[in-house]
Amino acid sequence: MLAIQKAALVLAGVVGFQPAVGGGPAPAAAPAAVTVRQVLTTQALVGERVVVTGRCLGKNAATVAKGPRPLSGRVWQIEDNGLAAWVSGPMPQGCGEGTAMITARVAQDTLPRFSLPRSVRQYLVVE
């Protein structure tokens, strides 16, 4: 009887230490929701995928974003609380109705000036 109890105890210990899930890849983290202000001012976001909500400003709208428009085919602006960021890539369908939510990667470049220092600009790239 003691041998059966020991065997049950060993079996319970072995079963208890098995992983619950297979060894597949970890799920990708969801993009962080950020504001237009954070896109423009937070260098730690460069290269990260983010979700931004704001009002879409088409290519013919008045320029609200700072600096010249990036040299790309499809460029527009996303505005929130008076601040705007340039967005490179297709404008989502919902933009025609005003406010939209986009998922994009934060990119950074350097704007040339006539004298040093150069100005750093952060913008969004819809992929």
User: Does 16 score more than 90 pLDDT?
Assistant: no
pTM: 0.71
For 90-100, the pLDDT digits (tens) are 988 878 667 88
Task: Please compute, for residue 12, the number of CA atoms within 13 A of its CA located in the half-sphere on the CB side.
Answer: 6
Query: What is the distance of C-alpha 112 from the center of its chain?
Result: 26
Could you give the domains of the chain?
Answer: 30-125 (2.40.50)
Give the pLDDT confidence score for residue 29 in this predicted structure.
81
User: Does 23 score more than 80 pLDDT?
Assistant: no
DSSP 115: S
Between 22-26, 46-50, 52-56, 75-79, the lowest mean confidence (pLDDT) is in 22-26
The residue-averaged pLDDT of 6-25 equals 51
Give the pLDDT confidence score for residue 116 in this predicted structure.
60
For the chain, what percentages of helix, strand and coil (3-state, to nearest 5) are there? 25, 35, 45
